[in-house]
Amino acid sequence: MRFVRTLTLRNYSKRTIKSYVDWVYDLARYHMKAPCSLSRDEQQAYLYHLVIERGLKPSTCNVAINALRLYYQLVEGVPRDQLGLMLPRPRTGWRLPEVLAAEEVERLITHARQLHHRSFLMTVYGTGLRLSEAANLRGRDIDSDRMQVRVVAGKGNKDRYTVLSPVLLTELREHWRRRRCTDWLFPNRRGDGPMCPAVGQYAYKTAAKAAKITKQGGIHLLRHSFATHLLEGGMNLAVIQRLLGHADLHTTARYLHVSSRGMKEWKSPLDLIEPKIPPGMEGAPE
């Protein structure tokens, strides 16, 4: 397929290619017609279907729109300045991520159902990795000399480094010995490949339930907590951006709205005045 070939040559990750191709296929299946033959009304009817009939979140719809815009630009030759009119984006609000308190993270890890679940949860929180990035770690990605973790082909097919805590290093060495790992840090049951990300999500859900953590969201909350706790600890926002692998600093900046750093010193302007009760109103019934 030409779209797959073009995305591959542009160095998109396999996961992104599959996602984008699936959205183009979904568009064709919805209308039972080739995407190249659809009118603008039909293209927008599909977007209406995603937003209204299927009730997908704006973030999910934007992934679909990214895929379709790229298809029409690269394969059908539609000029970029026409894509916005052809496939408009839904308006989205600014949604802040939920974050676990440090005490909640400690409780979560303590209530992990199995020891390798504990090691995995500590890895995600201690490094700020995405679920798939943590699941695909290999032993050689742990650089104990420089106290860094190498992320190979993360989101956007980009490599980066993140921090390695001495506490996590000790935990991973014990995990490696206990599980008799040879290559993958968190191998599947056969030992010939990485752990399925669903196992990591299960590890979080079972531990959160046991720890009585009710905040909404899955294991990605640990990544949000990693960033927020670093910010509250005084780390520079640009450094946090690099550790998380965000392409845009604006994405990282949302943690400024979540962080409670300095909040105790914040004051309402009401504290600056002393409004008095008018004469004759003291003790008057409401």
Q: What is the pLDDT of residues 108-147, one digit of tens each?
A: 999 999 999 999 999 999 999 999 999 999 999 999 999 9
Dist. CA 186–CA 177, nearest whole Å? 12
Residue 223 annotated as catalytic: yes
pLDDT at position 286, please?
Answer: 56
Per-residue pLDDT tens over the stretch 226-237: 999 998 888 888
| Residue 99 · residue 225 · CB < 8 Å | yes
**To which residue do tokens 């984008």 refer?**
20
Provide the 8-state DSSP code for 217.
Answer: -
pLDDT tier for residue 17 given thresholds of 50, 70 and 90? very high
Q: Is the pLDDT of residue 191 over 60?
A: yes
Of 117, 223, 224, 229, which residue is the catalytic one? 223
Q: Is the pLDDT of residue 262 over 80?
A: no
Of 205, 220, 254, 261, which residue is the catalytic one? 220
Of 117, 130, 175, 224, which residue is the catalytic one? 130
Higher pLDDT, 62 or 263: 62
CATH label, 2-86, candidates 1.10.4000.10, 1.10.150.130, 3.40.50.10800, 3.40.50.620:
1.10.150.130
Of 150, 246, 254, 261, which residue is the catalytic one? 246
Provide the 8-state DSSP code for 162.
Answer: E
| Residue 210 · residue 113 · CB < 8 Å | yes
| Residue 170 · residue 179 · CB < 8 Å | no
What CA dihedral angle connects 119, 166, 228 and 161, to 10 degrees?
A: -90
pLDDT at position 119, please?
Answer: 95
> How many CB atoms are closer than 10 A to CB 103?
8
Of 20, 46, 204, 255, which residue is the catalytic one? 255
Write the DSSP string, 37-98.
Answer: G--HHHHHHHHHIIIIIS---HHHHHHHHHHHHHHHHHTS---HHHHHHHSPPPP---PPPP
Mean predicted confidence (pLDDT) in 41-54:
92
Give yes or no on whether 2-86 and 102-262 have one common fold: no
Of 155, 179, 205, 254, which residue is the catalytic one? 155
| Residue 255 · residue 95 · CB < 8 Å | no
Q: Is the pLDDT of residue 1 over 90?
A: no
Question: What's the token pair of residue 51?
Answer: 């937003």
Q: Of the candidates 4, 73, 6, 10, which has an alpha carbon nearest to the alpha carbon of residue 36?
A: 73
Dist. CA 208–CA 211, nearest whole Å? 5
Average pLDDT, the chain: 88
Residue 205 annotated as catalytic: no
Mean predicted confidence (pLDDT) in 279-285:
63
Residue 72 annotated as catalytic: no
CATH of domain 102-262: 1.10.443.10
CB neighbour class for 257 (10 Å; exposed up to 12, middle 13-18, buried from 19): exposed
Phi-psi region of 280 (alpha: psi -120 to 50; beta: other; left: phi over 0): left
Residue 117 annotated as catalytic: no
Higher pLDDT, 250 or 236: 236
Q: Any idea where the domains of the chain sit in the sequence?
A: 2-86, 102-262
pLDDT at position 273, please?
Answer: 63
Residue 255 annotated as catalytic: yes
Q: Of the candidates 7, 11, 2, which has an alpha carbon nearest to the alpha carbon of residue 19?
A: 7
Residue 155 annotated as catalytic: yes
Dist. CA 139–CA 187, nearest whole Å? 11
Q: How far is CA 101 from CA 82, 92, 107, 110, 162, in A?
A: 46, 27, 10, 14, 21
